[in-house]
């Protein structure tokens, strides 16, 4: 339970400034969830919304998450990039599927019993998460004269206790200013910093299994 919101706000803002020393434009991947929304809010407080660029990437994503990201952008005022990665995703899988068959390797289509049975569900989810990584690396540097930082968006429970992330996907970051905060504290702080209530109270969903909120923590 947070007892002093202003003190925590100051701590998070100062931490963001320290970790982004030398940067003028800041990048954060915004999923539509409360964790990334809080990071976006902190960065806007620390550097001004005009210097914060958010990315929402759509790969089989639930459309409601983009709606929430746009609502967040309207509330905070940061710059928003939206990338539809479905064509790239389909193209990669099409090439791999053919070559798997040529090599006699098993294949399972997404959202099938075989995908769950043979571990393809996890493989598909990992691919979606990792497709964000090259975009994040490019954008973070392109907006900041070749410098750039990638701010992590996992809370303390996810990153430190459950390890609920993909190491080379959402875990491929330069820092994590939310480390040490519980999910409940993230929600409390997000509400305090003006994150829309619909985001604060929504079901936490990784949205990586192409089945909407059925994939949640």
Q: What is the pLDDT of residue 203?
A: 82
Do 172 and 151 contact (CB within 8 A), yes or no? no
How, if at all, do strands 52-58 and 26-29 pair?
Answer: parallel
Per-residue b or e along 11-41, where b marks 16 or more CB atoms closer than 10 Å to that residue's CB? ebbebbeebbeebebbbbbbbbbbbbbbbbb
Which tokens belong to 100? 């798997």
- The dihedrals phi and psi of 188, each to the nearest 5 degrees, come to -65, -45
Q: What is the pLDDT along the chain (217 residues), one digit of tens a residue?
A: 888 999 999 999 999 999 999 999 999 999 999 999 999 999 999 999 999 999 999 999 999 999 999 999 999 999 999 999 999 999 999 999 999 999 999 999 999 999 999 999 999 999 999 999 999 999 999 999 999 999 999 876 676 666 666 788 788 899 999 988 999 999 999 999 999 999 999 987 667 666 656 656 6
Instruction: Please tell me the pTM assigned to this model.
Output: 0.92
Which residue bears the tokens 């954008």? 139
Query: Which residue, 204, 203, 198, is CA-closest to 71?
Result: 198
For residue 90, give Cα distances in angstroms to 98, 109, 119.
12, 12, 19
For residue 16, give Cα distances in angstroms to 30, 151, 167.
16, 9, 22
Which tokens belong to 125? 């989810």
């Amino acid at each position: 339970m947070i007892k002093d919101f202003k003190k925590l706000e100051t701590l998070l803002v100062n931490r963001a400034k320290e970790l982004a020393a030398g940067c003028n434009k800041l990048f954060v991947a915004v999923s539509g969830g409360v964790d990334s929304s809080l990071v976006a809010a902190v960065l806007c407080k620390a550097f001004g919304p005009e210097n914060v660029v958010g990315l929402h990437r759509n790969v089989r994503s639930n459309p409601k998450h983009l709606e929430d990201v746009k609502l967040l952008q309207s509330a905070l005022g940061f710059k928003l990039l939206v990338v539809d990665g479905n064509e790239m995703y389909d193209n990669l899988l099409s090439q791999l599927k053919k070559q798997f068959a040529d090599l006699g390797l098993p294949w399972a289509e997404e959202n099938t019993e075989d995908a769950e049975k043979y571990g393809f569900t996890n493989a598909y989810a990992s691919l979606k998460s990792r497709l964000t990584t090259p975009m994040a690396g490019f954008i973070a540097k392109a907006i900041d004269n070749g410098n750039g930082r990638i701010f992590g968006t996992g809370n303390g429970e996810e990153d430190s206790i459950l390890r609920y992330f993909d190491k080379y996907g959402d875990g491929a970051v330069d820092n994590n200013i939310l480390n040490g905060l519980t999910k409940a504290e993230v929600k409390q702080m997000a509400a305090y910093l003006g994150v829309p209530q619909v985001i604060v109270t929504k079901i936490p969903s990784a949205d990586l299994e192409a089945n909407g909120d059925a994939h949640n923590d």
